[in-house]
Amino acid sequence: MEKQKISGNAYDSKLLSRLAQYISPYKGAFWVSVILTILLAAVAPALPLLIEYTLDNYIFAGNKDGLSLMLILMLGLLIAQTIIRYFHTLMTNTLGQSVIRDIRIQVFNHITNLRLKYFDNTPIGRLITRTISDLETIANIFSEGLIQIIGDLLQLVVILGVMFYTDWKLTLIVLIPMPLMIAATYIFKEAMKSAFQSVRLWVSNLNTFLQEHITGMNLIQYFAREDQEMKKFRSINAEHRNAHIRANWYFSIFFPVLEIIVAVAIGLLVWYGSKQILANVISAGVVVAFIMYINMIFRPIRELIDKFNTLQMGMVSAERIFEVLDTDEFTPNQGDYKPENIQGEIEFKNVWFAYNDENWVLKDVSFHVKPGESLALVGATGAGKSSVINILSRFYEIQKGEILLDGRDIREFDLKYLRETISTVLQDVFLFSDSILNNINLNNPSIPKERIIDAAKKVGAYNFIQRLPGNFDYQVQERGATLSSGQAQLISFIRALVHEPKILILDEATSSIDTETEHLIQGAIDKLMKGRTSIVIAHRLSTIQKADQIIVLDKGEIKEKGNHRELLTLDGHYRKLYELQFNSTGIH
């Protein structure tokens, strides 16, 4: 699970300056929001002033003539404030959502370009939290945080200025409880910093747990582990609940303390103001206006705390988001070689490869595949077969040696171009929640439907697709749950064929297919491999007997090399595998 490692400062100039860069395309909306914020602060004391003037000059003076006009002015002021607040809320929320849309696009684009090693060490649920939940929190910085804080501070300054101008002695009396409020606010701020970090941490852990366990639900049910996994979920969910309760507990203490402070301020106002009224120093209208001012002072302070927490939570999320954006786990793409034609000649020269440190998965591997030839890799699980194809497409980088394509180091090729020349059919077929058509062409508009239909016929999948509701428009459920493993595998063959690769890789491509389906597509595989350089990984030796070259790998080393008949005569590793699989069935 994710560990606590985010500082969570409520104000971080570096983070705010990075966030400010995303405002640049929306400067108009930002400055309109700022102007509306200033307007709201400017008109804040207008209503108490109007009420003070009305009380002193009309109601207490017994003058009814202008009272209606004053009421109309008050109503007009309220309407104006409402309209300004409406557009202020609209603009700040629009700004926030526009910014996170841009950041989310950048984050997704960044994630899709990270190399596979990053995903080996990073839970998917954590990335989902970053891309969705954390970004929504950042939006609140603009809609409820920074601009609102500026507005509340401006309102405080304006109101305090009017109060000091009206009666500075009365203002100082009212502000006597203010140091207590500042102390309570500071204590609350420090407590909430820790609480919000904990909330974000357990939101991420909960998302990670749910993503992993819903994806692996079949495994949980196969082994009847529902009760045990439920216990783990309850534990994580309890931590998530406790984090929220802890945050709410601080709120439940702080706001009653604020109410007590407000009550003390009003009590001091009534006590001192009454004496001043009796002494004819101030009017009753001033005391009534000051009661409204107190509420207008302490309400922004209460909201400032809430907005401060919003800003703090946004800073935590921003730090997490930029942590992802600053991840420099990219496959170096310094090559720019894009030849018009690829012949498909592959050569490994003394290749050493390890996923971590020097735990070598491939040790001094060398082989040569001529254009149009087929190479088969066999060996026990963990021998390094899949690693060969991973480094050929540069999903991982080798530590020693060279990999050549048509006589040139693969690092000299443009990375996107290199991968477009290779089509891979994997054992574990992944299908998106989309139509069969889009799962085949991967939303590439340059692939015509006629080519897809032709490929489906060659692979032998056309008839079963035609029987599905909607044919090629049939909506495949998540990970192809509504199709059999054989049907999903057939779709992956069509996918490989329509992209017209120069190099074809079949990684245990027939291991999930029953014998009948295997016979169905064996001819299609032969057609698919014809004229293309092919690398085949298979446990079933029956699928690779026609290969031009077979390499036997064991613990990352090449033990034997040759064609089917040559390897049988060596009476070594390959023959043992062959006898293990076929002698009992009489295959020769």
Residue 504 lies in a domain: no
Q: What is the structure's pLDDT at 346?
A: 92
Cα–Cα distance for residue pair 299/341, rounded to 1 Å: 71
Q: Give the closest residue to 268 by CA, choosing from 284, 290, 283, 285.
A: 290
pLDDT (average), residues 553-564: 88
What confidence category does residue 351 fall into, taking pLDDT thresholds of 50, 70 and 90?
very high
Judged by average pLDDT, the poorest of 311-320, 336-345, 518-527 is 518-527
Q: What is the structure's pLDDT at 71?
A: 87
DSSP 170-220: HHHHHTTTHHHHHHHHHHHHHHHHHHHHHHHHHHHHHHHHHHHHHHTHHHH
Cα–Cα distance for residue pair 332/348, rounded to 1 Å: 20
Residue 293: is it exposed, middle or buried by C-beta count within 10 angstroms (0-12/13-18/19+)? buried
The answer, as to whether pTM is greater than 0.85, is no
Length of the chain: 588
Q: Which residue has the higher pLDDT, 30 or 530?
A: 30
Quick: pLDDT tens for 268-310: 988 988 888 888 888 888 888 888 888 888 777 767 766 777 7
Residue 363: is it exposed, middle or buried by C-beta count within 10 angstroms (0-12/13-18/19+)? middle
Cα–Cα distance for residue pair 580/69, rounded to 1 Å: 103
Q: Which residue has the higher pLDDT, 185 or 75?
A: 75
Q: Which domain holds residue 224?
A: 13-325
Residue 299: is it exposed, middle or buried by C-beta count within 10 angstroms (0-12/13-18/19+)? middle
Q: What is the structure's pLDDT at 465?
A: 86
Judged by average pLDDT, the poorest of 187-201, 225-239, 282-296, 490-504 is 187-201
Q: What is the structure's pLDDT at 512?
A: 56
Inter-residue contact 462 to 494 (CB < 8 Å): no
Judged by average pLDDT, the poorest of 112-116, 545-549, 574-578, 579-583 is 579-583
Q: What is the structure's pLDDT at 586?
A: 46
pLDDT (average), residues 214-219: 74
Inter-residue contact 403 to 409 (CB < 8 Å): yes
Q: What is the structure's pLDDT at 6?
A: 45
Cα–Cα distance for residue pair 172/191, rounded to 1 Å: 30
Highest-scoring range by mean pLDDT, 187-201, 456-470, 532-546: 456-470
Whether the pLDDT of residue 567 is over 60: the answer is yes
Total domain count for the chain? 1
Helices (H) and strands (E) in the chain, counts: 22, 10
Q: Which residue has the higher pLDDT, 541 or 536?
A: 536
Q: Which residue has the higher pLDDT, 125 or 263?
A: 263
DSSP 8-state code for residue 500: -
What confidence category does residue 587 fall into, taking pLDDT thresholds of 50, 70 and 90?
very low
What confidence category does residue 515 fall into, taking pLDDT thresholds of 50, 70 and 90?
low
What confidence category does residue 584 fall into, taking pLDDT thresholds of 50, 70 and 90?
very low
pLDDT (average), residues 37-64: 84
Q: What is the structure's pLDDT at 537?
A: 86
Whether the pLDDT of residue 419 is over 70: the answer is yes
Quick: pLDDT tens for 364-414: 999 999 998 889 898 877 888 888 988 898 888 888 999 999 989 999 999
Residue 573 lies in a domain: no
- Cα 186 → chain centroid: 33
Cβ atoms within 10 Å of 321's Cβ, excluding its own: 24
Inter-residue contact 199 to 244 (CB < 8 Å): yes
Cα–Cα distance for residue pair 384/387, rounded to 1 Å: 5
Residue 196 lies in a domain: yes
Q: Give the closest residue to 390 by CA, choosing from 121, 126, 120.
A: 120
Inter-residue contact 441 to 447 (CB < 8 Å): yes
Q: What is the structure's pLDDT at 403?
A: 92
pLDDT (average), residues 202-224: 78
Highest-scoring range by mean pLDDT, 8-12, 52-56, 511-515: 52-56
| One-letter amino acid for residue 2 of the chain | E
Percentage with pLDDT > 70 across the chain: 90
Cα–Cα distances (Å) from 561 to 365, 379, 529, in that order, read: 11, 12, 20
Whether the pLDDT of residue 7 is over 50: the answer is no
For the chain, give the mean pLDDT.
82
Inter-residue contact 137 to 317 (CB < 8 Å): yes
Q: What is the structure's pLDDT at 582?
A: 62
Q: What is the structure's pLDDT at 75?
A: 92
Token pair of 558, please?
């090449």
Residues paired with 435 in a beta bridge: 475
Residue 570: is it exposed, middle or buried by C-beta count within 10 angstroms (0-12/13-18/19+)? middle
Token pair of 283, please?
């009017």
Whether the pLDDT of residue 513 is over 70: the answer is no
Buried b or exposed e, range 524-558, using 16+ CB within 10 angstroms:
bbeebbeebbbbbbbbebebbbebebbbbbeebeb
Q: What is the structure's pLDDT at 574?
A: 83
CATH code of the domain containing 178: 1.20.1560.10
Cα–Cα distances (Å) from 155 to 55, 66, 184, 258, 554, in that order, read: 24, 29, 21, 18, 75
Cα–Cα distances (Å) from 489 to 359, 390, 509, in that order, read: 33, 20, 7
Q: What is the structure's pLDDT at 258?
A: 82
Interhelix angle for 284-325 vs 67-112, to 10°?
A: 10
Cα–Cα distance for residue pair 23/584, rounded to 1 Å: 71
Cα–Cα distance for residue pair 357/453, rounded to 1 Å: 47
Residue 442 lies in a domain: no
Quick: pLDDT tens for 218-254: 777 777 878 888 888 888 888 888 888 888 888 788 8
Percentage with pLDDT > 90 across the chain: 7
